[in-house]
């Protein structure tokens, strides 16, 4: 399905960090975790790597020359703007690696489209932009996780051709658990 409303997608520069944070908070609200967001404009500026972009948004009137990916700045964010300049979606992602395929790929950390514009093709547009990047870099895959209760998103992902990897279990170590695990390494 093509978007019924044309939008502009791009990797935004630092002037759009407040827009990114607002969309992150809206995502947390949607996922019933309104108090979970610890990100700040400063922490986003210190951890996001902005890709080169000719896109100029209402909050960003200068074309971005881009930032390199690094261990401390591993993530990128695409924003989607309506023709009137309103930010209505984002795809926050980073690069990963497939050992079996010996190829880089993209891991989509978060995809969010504002509820008022869902069903207009914007989510597919953002995923399509990431898929184009994967094709251009001869990537092994584009992958992401989705909450099991999020049936509308699961159904959307299946409609666009994504396959659920039911044989895999997500594992995580964080906060104090990371410190404890690091201590065990000596």
Say whether 107 sits in a helix, a strand or coil.
Answer: strand
End-to-end distance of the chain based on CA atoms, in angstroms?
53
157 is catalytic: yes
The owner of tokens 């399509």 is: 128
10 alpha-carbon distance from chain centroid = 12
Task: Tell me the C-alpha distance between 143 and 165, whole Å.
Answer: 10
Task: Tell me the C-alpha distance between 51 and 40, whole Å.
Answer: 20
135 alpha-carbon distance from chain centroid = 17
Burial status of residue 147 (CB atoms within 10 A of its CB: 0-12, 13-18, 19 or more): exposed
Catalytic pick among 30, 95, 122, 157? 157
The owner of tokens 């200068």 is: 62
Residues constituting the chain: 186
Catalytic residue IDs: 157
């Amino acid at each position: 399905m093509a978007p019924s409303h044309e939008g502009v997608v791009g990797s935004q520069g630092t002037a759009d960090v407040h827009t990114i944070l607002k969309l992150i908070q809206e995502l947390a609200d949607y996922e019933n975790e309104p108090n979970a967001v610890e990100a700040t404009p400063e922490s986003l500026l210190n951890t996001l790597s902005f890709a080169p972009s000719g896109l100029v948004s209402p909050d960003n009137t200068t074309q971005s020359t881009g930032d390199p990916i690094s261990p401390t700045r591993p993530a990128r964010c695409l924003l989607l703007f309506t023709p009137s300049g309103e930010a209505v979606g984002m795809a926050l992602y980073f690069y990963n690696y497939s050992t079996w395929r010996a190829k880089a790929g993209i891991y989509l950390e978060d995809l969010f489209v504002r509820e008022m514009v869902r069903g207009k093709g914007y989510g597919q547009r953002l995923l399509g932009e990431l898929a184009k990047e994967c094709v251009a870099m001869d990537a092994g895959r584009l992958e992401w996780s989705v909450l099991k209760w999020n049936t509308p998103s699961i159904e959307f992902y299946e409609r666009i051709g994504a396959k659920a990897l039911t044989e895999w279990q997500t594992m995580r170590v964080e906060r104090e658990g990371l410190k404890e695990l690091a201590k065990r390494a000596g």
